[in-house]
Amino acid sequence: MSLPEFRLLRPSTVEEAVRYLSQHAGNIRVLAGGTDLIPSMRQRLFEPEYVLDIRHIGELKGIRQGAEVEIGALTSLTVIEHSEFLRRHYPVLAEAASTVASPLLRNMGTIGGNICLVTWRKGCGFCIKKDGDLCHVAPGGSKCWAVFSGDTPPALLCLDAHIEIASSAGLRRIPLREFYTGIGDSYRRLEANELVTRIFLPAASADYRGIYRKLRIRGSIDYPLAGVAVVLKRSNGHVKDARLAITAVNPAPMLIKAAPQMLEGKAVDTNLAEAVGDLAAKTAKPLTTSALTPEYRREMIRVFTKRAVLAAANN
Ligand SMILES: Cc1cc2nc3c(=O)[nH]c(=O)nc-3n(C[C@H](O)[C@H](O)[C@H](O)COP(=O)(O)OP(=O)(O)OC[C@H]3O[C@@H](n4cnc5c(N)ncnc54)[C@H](O)[C@@H]3O)c2cc1C
């Protein structure tokens, strides 16, 4: 499939980028690595008049250590996967990044693009409701259930990450947990004139044991059909703090809010890990895909959560 026609804009600073976004708001799409945007444009899911290629904004690349960790939105998933610092202090993020797509796509794909990944509106190859009224995936429903399928956001939610958003009005900063709406076709709180610029990891989230587990058809490349991130800190054999988040089974990546309370102060055993798995499975609302049944995907959330909790408590 060929690309629709568009005008390419290539800013070299954030200021220039947000100026373009304001000028063409509603008729412009941001291109970071392009690994998701370009296939979506080929499928005519989007036909913007302008494409804003932000890859030349050098200040948005790289990982900086300070009172908190700052990751530029254009940092590639490969850099995150191989960062010695992240692997040591924020292992759940490095592991989640390492499972995205394939090595070539991780070289191109960015963390900002992964956070902003468009929800999966796939009826028969692409979203048939895009220009129509009937949803073939959830007929009869009033809400769009398009699934969010990014791998790094559940890890970032467990780490209590914040994101910085730039516009011509300046910068704002929000917890990532407030970024997603839970509604498939308007899945993120990002205005048309705004750009995600940085991700921040608090020092307080460092050095948790972290695990990411993912279900996919082909282990070498595919999107998650279910994903679970767990972080956990212990003291004297008991859980001091824990967080759990799931992805690819709802229109947003979701923190399981009751999980910390269930785990804290306890020694992890199989029964406790199973109970946390049941809790996570209840939150998952997968729909039918061409590949696997919703029941199987929900069951895998339960199984992966149990395994991830046990692994995080024992490694
Ligand atoms: C075969 C294949 C397999 C894949 N498998 C996986 C997988 O297993 N897991 C997974 O998570 N993803 C997967 N992906 C999707 C994609 O490769 C990754 O999510 C990647 O991280 C997207 O980053 P990008 O920089 O390429 O985003 P882009 O394609 O450039 O952008 C993605 C979306 O985010 C917007 N955007 C990008 N950056 C910003 C920003 N800074 N501010 C505001 N909006 C922005 C774009 O406008 C676009 O709508 C797969 C893709 C393919 C083609």
32 lines ligand 1 (CB under 6 A): yes
What pLDDT was estimated at residue 1? 79
Fold designation for 209-314? Enolase-like; domain 1 (3.30.390)
What pLDDT was estimated at residue 82? 98
Residue 268: half-sphere exposure toward Cβ, Cα within 13 Å: 28
117 lines ligand 1 (CB under 6 A): yes
Q: What is the mean pLDDT of residues 39-67?
A: 94
Asked if residue 315 lies in contact with residue 231, where contact means CB atoms within 8 angstroms, the answer is no
Atom 11, ligand 1: residue with shortest CA distance: 150
Per the confidence metrics, is the pTM higher than 0.85?
yes
SS3 280: helix
Q: What percent of the chain has pLDDT over 90?
A: 81
Dist CA 54 CA 74 (whole Å): 8
Asked if residue 149 lies in contact with residue 215, where contact means CB atoms within 8 angstroms, the answer is no
41 lines ligand 1 (CB under 6 A): no
Convert the pLDDT of each residue in 218-246 to its tens digit: 988 889 999 999 999 999 999 999 999 99
In whole angstroms, how far apart are CA 15 and each of 54, 116, 167, 303? 11, 20, 8, 46
SS3 289: coil
72 phi and psi angles, rounded to 5 deg: -65, 145
Dist CA 304 CA 311 (whole Å): 10
Q: Residues with Cβ < 8 Å from 43, sequence gap 6 or more? A: 1, 125, 126
Q: What is the mean pLDDT of residues 268-276?
A: 98
Short-list 42, 53, 41, CA closest to 17: 53
CA–centroid distance, residue 78 to ligand 1 (Å)? 13
Tell me how many degrees the CA angle 41-177-70 measures, rounded to the nearest 5.
Answer: 80
Atom 21, ligand 1: residue with shortest CA distance: 114
Q: Residues with Cβ < 8 Å from 261, sequence gap 6 or more? A: none
Looking at per-residue pLDDT, the higher value among 26 and 288 belongs to: 26
Asked if residue 287 has pLDDT above 90, the reply is no
Fold designation for 59-203? 3.30.465
SS3 312: helix
Q: Average pLDDT, whole number, for the chain?
A: 93
Long-range contacts of 265-272 (CB under 8 A, 24+ apart): 265/238, 265/239, 266/238, 266/239, 267/237, 267/238, 267/239, 268/232, 268/239, 268/309, 268/310, 268/313, 268/314, 270/306, 270/310, 272/309
What pLDDT was estimated at residue 147? 87
What pLDDT was estimated at residue 141? 73
Atom 3, ligand 1: residue with shortest CA distance: 101
Atom 2, ligand 1: residue with shortest CA distance: 101
Q: What is the mean pLDDT of residues 197-202?
A: 98
Looking at per-residue pLDDT, the higher value among 141 and 218 belongs to: 218
Atom 36, ligand 1: residue with shortest CA distance: 113
Convert the pLDDT of each residue in 144-197 to its tens digit: 888 899 999 999 999 999 999 999 999 999 999 999 999 888 889 999 999 999
Q: What residues does each domain of the chain span?
A: 59-203, 209-314
CA–centroid distance, residue 298 to ligand 1 (Å)? 24
Short-list 211, 208, 209, 242, CA closest to 227: 211
CA–centroid distance, residue 157 to ligand 1 (Å)? 18
> Which residue spans within the chain are E strands per DSSP?
7-9, 28-31, 50-53, 63-64, 69-72, 162-167, 170-175, 195-201, 209-215, 226-235, 238-247, 254-255
Asked if residue 129 has pLDDT above 70, the reply is no
What pLDDT was estimated at residue 186? 86
Lowest mean pLDDT among 41-45, 111-115, 176-180, 188-192: 41-45
Q: Is 214 exposed, middle or buried (0-12, 13-18, 19+ CB in 10 A)?
A: buried
Asked if residue 137 has pLDDT above 80, the reply is no
Short-list 165, 199, 162, 175, CA closest to 17: 165
45 lines ligand 1 (CB under 6 A): no
What pLDDT was estimated at residue 136? 65
Same-fold call for 59-203 versus 209-314: no
18 lines ligand 1 (CB under 6 A): no
Q: Which atom of ligand 1 is nearest to the CA of 39?
A: 53
What pLDDT was estimated at residue 185? 81
